[in-house]
Amino acid sequence: MTELAKQTTATKTTELATLRPLVTIIEEESGFTLTAELPGVPKENVKVQVENHILTLEGEILLQIPEQMESTHAEVSTAKYKRAFTLSRELDSSKIEASQSDGVLTLHIPKAEHAQPRKIEVQVG
Amino acid sequence: MYSTLFNFSDDLFNELENLQRHWVGRNILSNIRPVARGSFPAINLGSTPNSVEVYAFVPGVDAKSLDIQIDKNLLTLQGERVLELPKEDSKLTVYAQERFSGKFKRVITLPDDVDVSKVSATYKEGVLHISIQRREEAQAKRIEIQ
């Protein structure tokens, strides 16, 4: 079953462009929290990488598809998610934490310590 | 604040998808219960000689909160997903909120030969998979020649 599902998604992937996962992005003093929807993607098929300050999220859907199934209607028409974000330089990409549950990927991207906000006192001369 | 921008880009992506579908030559028939593109949750349907397979992409919900009902050949899926967003203040900024939040309902027309007493539903990695068996008398049978 799993093997078959793998084959089905593999052939689909080459057909069309990728899906754009929907996200929520929140910035706090300590860093960013990015939540991305990757329904149908098992943990081992999620890829998160940072290169040249570009954060790329990728995931490949793996569904339990019975033998002989023909698709009759598809709103999710390709099996691969991909989306990239530019990170600003004050973020510490080596300390990104990732977790996943029920098809939702959560990333915490901390700010480098020296980049955390400081209140600047205005001196009155 | 940037919602119009996001909506614009979503429409753009949908347009591109439509174009792509056109090029690939896939034709999807319009339904009497049409849904706007980008409705939540997205649904894929499949068919086998013995069953009808429904895949609903509902990430981040409690499976117990999903309500699935089948009346004759209409399948209704409803539920609620509440995204708890922290309040914006001087220390917190919400840059993007594209994820759906609130109540949702989708109605799907099933083929006439489904057996509503033989339904199974599983929720895994944010996908609800509903499998409905077809009635036995409706399944194609091979007839042996004596």
> Chain A, 81-100: which have a CB under 8 Å from a chain B CB?
none
Q: So where are chain B's domains? A: 33-137
B65-79 tens-digit pLDDT: 899 999 888 999 999
| Domain count across chain A | 1
The answer to whether A24 contacts B94, with C-beta atoms less than 8 Å apart, is yes
Query: Closest-CA residue in chain B for A45?
Result: B125
* Min Cα–Cα distance to chain B from A23, Å: 6
B124 beta partners: B127
Task: Report the sign of the C-alpha dihedral through residues B80, A44, A22, B26, in that order.
Answer: negative
* Main-chain phi, psi angles of A100, to 5 degrees: -145, 135
In a domain, A46, yes or no: yes
Dist. CA B19–CA B24, nearest whole Å: 9
B30-51 tens-digit pLDDT: 666 666 666 899 999 999 999 9
A41-52 tens-digit pLDDT: 999 999 999 998
Do A50 and A58 contact (CB within 8 A), yes or no?
Answer: no
What residues of B are in contact with residue A40 (Cβ under 8 Å)? 55, 57, 125-127
Do A65 and A4 contact (CB within 8 A), yes or no?
Answer: yes
- Identify the CATH class of B33-137: mainly beta
Domain residues for the domain of A13 are 2-115
Per-residue pLDDT of chain B (146 residues; tens, 9 = 90+): 444 444 554 566 666 666 656 655 555 556 666 666 668 999 999 999 999 999 999 999 998 889 999 988 899 999 999 888 888 788 899 998 999 999 999 999 999 889 988 999 999 999 999 999 998 876 666 777 87
CATH number, position A58: 2.60.40.790
Q: Which residues contact A98 (CB under 8 A, 6 or more apart)?
A: A46, A48, A105, A106, A107, A108
